[in-house]
Chain A
Amino acid sequence: MEMIKLNVDIKEEQRKAQEKIKQQGRRILVCASTGCIANGALEIIEKFKKLGADVSVLNNAEKMSVIPTGCIGFCEQGVLVVIPDRKLTYVHVTEADVEEIYNSLKTDTIIERLLYVDPALNKRIVNNEEMNFYAKQTRTALKNCGHINPESIDEAIAAGAYSALSKVLQENNPEGVIKEIEDSGLRGRGGGGFATGKKWRSVYQHRGGKSYVICNGDEGDPGAFMDRSVMEDDPNKLLEGMAIAAFAVGADEGYIYVRAEYPLAIKRLKMAIKAAEERNLLGKNIMGSEFSFTIHIKEGAGAFVCGESSALIASIEGERGMPRPKNIHMAEKGLFKRPTLLNNVETFANVPLIILNGSQWFNKMGTETSKGTKTFALTGEVNNTGLIEVPMNTTLREIVYDLGGGIRNGKKFKAVQIGGPSGGCLTEEHLDMPMDYDQLTKVGAMVGSGGLVVMNEDTCIVEVARFFMNFTQHESCGKCTPCREGTKQMLAILERIVKGQGKMEDLDMLEELGRVIKEGSLCGLGKSAPNPVLSTLRYFRDEYIAHIRDKKCPAGVCSALKRYEIQEDKCKGCTKCARNCPAGAIEGTIKEPHKINQEKCIKCGACMENCPFNAIVTK
């Protein structure tokens, strides 16, 4: 095979970039992602700078540099400060701690009180490799997240960015690239799990004219932020993955569709594109080869349905984001009626490492049908919320208890909602199941984009189902009648049930409506909208029945089913509750215990809020 000679030597670029980083001296990494910024990361960075740690390149190795990084992952413990050469992580850092950290680094001492405490062992952890949260992860797509400054292309190049692109350009064999991706067994990380290599090949077959590569960064599932992290924290990895894909399928123009709720991701992607173009790593005749590829950013405008491929294309074309029938495949006629390859952020982020390390390396991880690793946003009622990446054979138990550190406040595990409003719930019986595409589908859930929301005994499952139905109902674009009208009816029934006005036959109606919506909708939104209801009906039917028949919410969440009562022994008869009750439902004489007239009570909770003796309880 003849190798193409490039005029950019990426190895030399990498060496130069690494040299620059060496000159920074000791690196102090401060997490500057959305979460930590909200907790004051920028003030911390400023304080470090004021004390003498520089952000610019230094020649004095005695000195320290403070590096704003992308998400380090352990969001619950933010703001995180990591000193990599000492394998030290400080958690919950505030501006007031900065001076002490700065001085301790000069004397090489450790500040005990800022170390992470393992909740299971109740022990402070010095070496961050010993933290369960990190030790159980395998980071590939997120490899650089939290280790590099995402706004500096030098840092990305030093960590190996664009080496894979350089490799494929030198080898100049698009089919070989597609073969490698096929062999790796990589499947789409956006939800459906379609074989990535197969998708690439079908676009490749229509090459010749103008083709497009689109990255779906419209991460709309509430409770998911993996793609945001890749875009914000290692934008160059995404750009490189897209460029490799474009080279393989024969495209010269690309779009990244990012939701408008992610302003930081948009800013950093734009910076990365500009810097990469200046270095000839993107744009015209990349690295001196024949291959040209330009990437544009398209901002979404707040429509969940635009995460659906054909709706996303409509939106890029400037129209209402409504799905289109798929009788003509996108590989043939997609964006502007040209052959189009569309993949999710995480899918592209996996590409450079597969090219560099080979498909064998990748398909050794995971299960028989689901290879590699998957990122999950672990949120809800677990101790350690944050961003994780694990091999696809990891079980739910390992995620919730080892990485997640168990349920908060010692409560009991109830369920995990996986895949957001399109997914389903997993219960205790699924704890030992691996998180692979096919296993999850079998039990009525799906990987989806990878949001994992952990729920404890205090979460009302019917209310959660109502919440998701409310979401999909709002986001239904209205094109298909079963989705537009059916979700409305399902929501109305669920609202009745949480108000204690449900009927037993409602449950059958919910199942029937669910089936019709799934079958009668064009796109993934409608096809999956009933999933949360159907899966909770399957695993928590008794809870629905409790709401309908017994008029009780077992978790004590649904306010209409709450019963407020005054405990006689605690009531001093101060009359404050009676004065605050907007419905005049509280009766009694001064200095005597009061009583709530349940028929008049509107369950607003004003009495409980105002009782100075905590005498009012809900039952």
Chain B
Amino acid sequence: MTLVSSRIDTAKLDKIMQDYDYNKSNLIAMLQGVQQIYKYLPEEAITYIGTKVEGLSPATVFGVATFYAQFSLEPKGKYEIKVCDGTACHVRGSMPVLNAVKKKIQLKDGKMTTDNGLFSLETVSCLGACSLAPAMVINGKIYPKMTEEAVSMIIDVLLKENE
């Protein structure tokens, strides 16, 4: 089995594993480190960590990676849009906001990332910013009290940045 692939840089992965003492109880932190580099978990990275850390197997790593919502096995877009669908946001109308985003970025049903790789969209269960409901986050920045019009304006700005 070849582990080295053009998609991953094993030196970077070695560094992450070293930072966490090759200790299997730090697996989640290691995967968070990998995701920070690639914005998702490439399959090769999962296999690599699974064979290098004692007590782990690629299957175990894959099991952990798929268990937690934070990890993505698919590449994410340049702009990661998260629409909060916590209770407070839900009762103040997060679903119309989500649909407005979907429509605006022309995301196909069942897909997470747009074909041009610019946007990815997901819902999160609660950002803890309930007083700002409905809230939306793009690349870490929180946008408060969203409306369908506001969504359209915000995404227009991002589209313009990429023209």
- Tell me the A residues contacting B by CB distance below 8 Å: 34-35, 37-39, 75-76, 78, 219-225, 228, 260-263, 298-304, 315-321, 336, 377, 379-381, 385-386, 417, 420-421, 451, 453, 455, 459, 464, 467-468, 471, 475, 477
Contact = CB atoms under 8 A, between A and B. Distances in A.
B67 A38 contact: no
B90 interface: yes
Contacts of A34: 127-129, 142
Contact of A38 (B26, B31, B69, B142): B142
Contact of B88 (A219, A260, A380): A380
B37 interface: no
A261 B67 contact: no
B130 interface: yes
Nearest to B131: A75
Contacts, number: 134
Contacts of B31: 301
Contact of B67 (A219, A220, A320, A380): A320
A35 B144 contact: yes
B71 interface: yes
Contacts of A39: 132, 144
22 contacts: A34-B127, A38-B132, A38-B141, A220-B125, A220-B126, A222-B88, A224-B130, A260-B32, A261-B126, A319-B64, A320-B67, A321-B67, A377-B130, A379-B88, A379-B131, A385-B130, A453-B91, A455-B91, A467-B90, A468-B87, A471-B125, A475-B125
A318 B132 contact: no
B29 interface: yes
B66 to A, nearest CB: 9
A39 B85 CA distance: 19
Given A39-B144, A301-B70, A318 B64 contact: yes
A263 B127 CA distance: 10
A319 B91 CA distance: 34
B101 interface: no
Given A75-B131, A75-B132, A222 B67 contact: no
Interface string B1-41: 00000000000000000000001111111011000000000
Contacts of A300: 28, 68, 70
Given A34-B142, A386-B131, A261 B87 contact: no
A613 to B, nearest CB: 20
B25 A316 contact: yes
Contact of B128 (A262, A301, A420, A455): A262
B129 A38 contact: yes
A321 B142 CA distance: 28
B140 A38 contact: no
B50 interface: no
Interface in B59-114: 63-64, 67-71, 85-92
Given A39-B144, A299-B29, A303-B68, A379 B126 contact: no
Contact of A315 (B28, B140, B143): B28
Contacts of B68: 300-303, 321
A73 to B, nearest CB: 10
A37 B142 contact: yes
B63 A320 contact: yes
B133 interface: yes
B13 to A, nearest CB: 16
Interface residues of B, number: 40
Given A35-B144, A38-B132, A224-B126, A301 B87 contact: no
Contacts of B127: 34, 261
A548 B88 CA distance: 26
Given A223-B126, A315-B28, A453 B142 contact: no
Nearest to A78: B131
Given A228-B128, A301-B70, A304-B125, A38 B144 contact: yes
A417 B91 CA distance: 11
A453 B87 contact: yes
Contacts of B64: 318-320
Interface string B122-161: 0011111111110100001111100000000000000000
Of B70, B140, B141, most buried by chain A (CB within 10 Å of CB) is B70
Nearest to B88: A379
A379 B69 contact: no
B71 A35 contact: no
A591 B32 CA distance: 62
Contacts of A260: 32, 70
Given A222-B88, A380-B88, A299 B128 contact: no
A303 B67 contact: yes
Nearest to B135: A38
A304 B85 CA distance: 14
B98 to A, nearest CB: 13
A225 B128 contact: yes
Of B25, B29, B64, B126, most buried by chain A (CB within 10 Å of CB) is B126
A222 B70 contact: no
Contacts of A385: 88, 130-131, 133
